[in-house]
Amino acid sequence: MFAFSRHFSRRRSSIFSEHQQIFVPFSEQQQQRNLLESRLVSVLHGCNDHNQIKQVHAHLLRKGLGQCSFLLTKLLRMLTKLNVPMEPYPRLLFDQVQQPNSFLWTALIRGYSLHGPFIESILLYNSMRLEGTRPVSFTFTALIKACTAILNLDLGRQIHAQTISIGGFESDLYVGNTLIDMYVKCGILECGRRVFDEMPERDVISWTSLIVAYTKCGDMEAAAGLFDDLPVKDMVAWTAMVTGYSQNAKPREALRLFERMRDSGVETDEVTLVGVISACAQLGAAKYATWIRDIAEQAGLGPATNVVVGSALIDMYSKCGSVEEAYQVFKGMNERNVFSYSAMIVGFAMHGRAEAAMQLFSEMVETETRPNRVTFIGVLTACSHVGMVEQGRRLFATMKEVYGVLPSADHYACMVDLLGRAGHLEEAHELVKSMPIEPHGGVWGALLGACRIHGNADIAETSANHLFELEPNGIGNYILLSNIYASAGKWDDVSKVRKLMRKKGLRKNPGCSWVEAKDGVIHEFFAGDMTHPKSSEIKLALEELLHRLKLHGYKPNLSCVVYDVSDEEKQRLLMTHSEKLALVFGMLITSDGSTIRIVKNLRMCEDCHTVMCGASGIMRREIIVRDNMRFHHFHDGICSCGNFW
């Protein structure tokens, strides 16, 4: 204590120079004491470092206020705010108080709950109860946060029980909100919902916490139900739903809700924009892209000034098929970071612009922007899409040695894809077997996909067996193996795979393609589905297109049909692939010479690829197709992929 006083004497002018009125003789009168306490609190609030708080503490001791729980509580809270470790000073300060009140106990418990060691807050609570001090609501919020920090559900439930047994605290709004947060983060969402349902009073935090929890676990129906019942919807709640729909692959719902948000007059922030931009990227809708960018500019969050929104817009334009527009956004940014560079590199990669991706990577390194794991996924993917094997090998080798990025399973998947596509199947297989980490489904899936390209049924079978263990319900793996067997004429093996699929109750996801009309309406087409209102016109136009293509040498690629049916039936099945239906509809609803943009949920087959090439030549149209692998730009009878895909 005396050390504190001496320290204060040496430095008192530095902090109290503007508060000379504090140095009035101490009076026993309560009014003067209250005035002194008020002034000391004011000084405390102005402190911005550890030493200044020690000066105030020294002054408290000199004025006989060393046992004042009110002032020491304020002092402890300031130490916590300044991130001062609880040991030794704050704990020593507390231990010198003979009869700390509930608030002083809580201030120390809160400090440990925020900065650790977290278990110490629980031990302090035990001591507090043993001394007969009754907790306050903030005691429990601090304790529950400590349990949340260490994800200790058992301790959390015991604290929850204490809020009920002591009485009155289970109805406290802040305690309830903290309990919801704890149960959600500990993975017990149903308990969080039960707390919510039993709360006599709720605020927007109560509602939003639970809405976010449902979106994170993919239950958008429950999230929407809560959102609809929310009395007053603020920007955070709206954003939680928009982002939730986007993250759960429901882009149309995200965009519709964003429109409702705009109509409600709710302000838009950076987080909202990133969520809706992501939804637009998933949908690949060019009209929405322009609309969203205009909103960002109006909100003062345009790409020139906001690097987060700018990076998201680069990703969006790339996925909407406008890689040049994405690059214009990139060049117009005043600030660029690893995320904006990586987004642009990935954009170039998905469009088969490998040289541009590699050039930008070099520029990034020259600006001393350190690449991360996503950057390397981008450049390795770029190499894979054009067969730049040697460049890919060099990049993979330098990841750790030069840039300090440890290759993950995703990077190995890129290398397996690169080697496999280029025909180095044995090398790709050896790379998988030599991996220092466990290969995930993406690695074996890349090898299986390469086996489809090169017709290697043996390695395909090995890859598929691993995939069946890692992803037992991954329908695509069974279909891919079945297709490889079918291409090799192994119909007995095809039958075995299909029986296994039936046994597991797995059904193939239907091929689906969508195309955007002039008014921004998205039209969906499913393989074999002729229920569209314009189906008759589509059928006639498709027959005419195929007839014209046949005059130019087109022959249906019947090997793309993996069913053991007649050639006539195979031609009929090929004719109604979803991307062909979307193509013809796009030709019907757009003006001559305009670009047709199509998005497909699965990989485009070789026959459809041939049709797109031919159609772009005879119709003098640019056709852009985004499948689940990459973008294809068809122009004058040629595809940007160079048939390497």
Q: Rounded to the nearest 5°, which phi and psi values hold at 516?
A: -95, 130
Q: How far apart are CA 205 and CA 177, in angstroms?
A: 7
Q: Has residue 85 got a pLDDT over 50?
A: yes
pLDDT of residue 562: 65
Instruction: At 222, list the tokens.
Output: 């429950």
Name the more confident of 484 and 260.
260
- Asked if 612 and 638 touch (Cβ cutoff 8 Å), the reply is no
In angstroms, the Cα distances linking 368 to 213, 314, 361, 371, 397 are 39, 21, 11, 9, 20
The mean pLDDT of 589-594, rounded to a whole number, is 88
CB 260 within 8 A of CB 224: no
Q: How far is CA 121 from the centre of its chain?
A: 33
Return the pLDDT at 564. 66
Average pLDDT rounded to a whole number, residues 131-135: 94
Those residues whose C-beta lies under 8 Å from the C-beta of residue 194, and which sit 6 or more positions away, are none
Q: Which residues pair with 515 in a beta bridge?
A: 523, 598
- Residue 27: is its pLDDT beyond 50? no
Record the pTM.
0.79
Angle of helix 323-331 relative to helix 338-350, nearest 10 degrees, comes to 160
Determine what percent of the chain falls in helix, strand and coil, rounding each to the nearest 5.
65, 5, 30
On the question of pLDDT at 7 being above 50, the answer is no
Lowest-confidence pick of 4-8, 116-120, 563-567? 4-8
What residues are paired with 631 via a beta bridge?
626
Count Cβ atoms within 10 A of the Cβ of residue 172 and give its class: 0-12 exposed, 13-18 middle, 19 or more buried. Answer: buried
Q: Which among 385, 389, 386, 331 has a CA at the least distance from the CA of 363? A: 331
Q: What percent of the chain has pLDDT over 90?
A: 69
Q: In what order do the strands lie in the sheet with 638-639?
A: 522-526, 512-516, 596-600, 623-626, 631-635, 638-639
Whether the pLDDT of residue 244 is over 60: the answer is yes
The arithmetic mean of pLDDT across residues 174-185, rounded, is 96
Domain range summary for the chain, segments of one domain joined by +: 512-639
Reply yes or no on whether the pLDDT at 444 is more than 90. Answer: yes
Q: Which amino acid is at 195?
A: V
Whether the upstream peptide bond of residue 510 has omega within 30° of 0, thus cis, is no
Question: Token pair of 476, please?
Answer: 């695509």
Stretch 547-564: mean pLDDT, rounded?
A: 86
Task: Name the β-bridge partners of 512.
Answer: 526
pLDDT of residue 510: 82
Work out the average pLDDT over 581-603: 91
> In the prediction, which pLDDT does 178 show?
97
Say whether the peptide bond before residue 85 is cis (omega within 30 degrees of 0): no
pLDDT(92) > 60:
yes
Q: Which residue has the higher pLDDT, 22 or 603?
A: 603
Parallel/antiparallel/unpaired status of strands 512-516 and 596-600: antiparallel
Range of lowest pLDDT (501-515, 522-536, 588-602) = 501-515
- The per-residue b/e assignment along 313-326, b for 16 or more CB within 10 angstroms, e otherwise, is bbbbbbbbbbbebb
pLDDT of residue 344: 98
Q: Rounded distance, CA 224 to CA 177, Å?
A: 20
Residue 26, pLDDT score: 44
How far is it, in rounded angstroms, from Cα 90 to Cα 96? Answer: 10
- Mean pLDDT across 89-111: 94
Higher pLDDT, 558 or 393: 393
Question: What's the per-residue H, E or C state across 192-207?
Answer: HHHHHHHCCCCCHHHH
- Angle made by CA atoms 324, 605, 577, in degrees to the nearest 5: 100
Cis peptide before 100 (omega within 30 of 0): no
The pLDDT confidence band at residue 134, using thresholds 50, 70 and 90, is: very high
Is residue 439 within 8 A of residue 407, CB to CB? The reply is no
Give tens-digit pLDDT for 140-158: 999 999 999 999 999 999 9
Q: Work out the percent of the chain whose per-residue pLDDT is above 70.
A: 94
Averaged pLDDT for residues 459-479? 89
pLDDT at 407: 96
Region 2-16 average pLDDT: 38
Q: Contact, 37 vs 62, CB < 8 A?
A: no
The residue-averaged pLDDT of 98-110 equals: 95
- Largest Cα–Cα distance in the chain? 109
Residue 21 reports pLDDT greater than 50: no
Whether 32 shows a pLDDT value over 70: the answer reads no
Q: Is the pLDDT of residue 305 over 90?
A: yes
pLDDT in tens, 328-363: 999 999 999 999 999 999 999 999 999 999 999 999
Burial of 394 (0-12, 13-18, 19+ CB in 10 A): exposed
Mean pLDDT of the residues in the chain: 89
Q: Note the pLDDT of residue 29.
A: 59
Q: For residues 72 and 51, give the distance between their C-alpha atoms in angstroms, rounded to a whole number.
A: 16
Mean pLDDT calculated for residue range 97-112: 95
Task: Determine the 3-state secondary structure of 614 from DSSP.
Answer: helix
Q: What span, in angstroms and rounded, lies between the C-alpha atoms of 493 and 449?
A: 18
pLDDT mean over 368-386: 95
In this predicted structure, the answer to whether residue 581 has a pLDDT above a threshold of 50 is: yes
Question: What secondary structure letter does DSSP report for 64?
Answer: T
- β-pair partners for 523: 515
The residue with greater pLDDT, 43 or 188, is: 188
Place of tokens 């569209």: 532
Return the minimum-mean-pLDDT range out of 28-37, 256-265, 299-308. 28-37
**Residue-wise pLDDT tens digits, 57-70:** 888 888 888 899 99
pLDDT value of residue 20: 44
Strand 638-639, strand 631-635: pairing: antiparallel
* Residue 352 to residue 406: CA distance in whole angstroms: 26
Instruction: Name the residue among 67, 63, 8 with its Cα closest to residue 36.
Output: 63
Evaluate whether 586 touches 596 at the Cβ level (below 8 Å).
Answer: yes
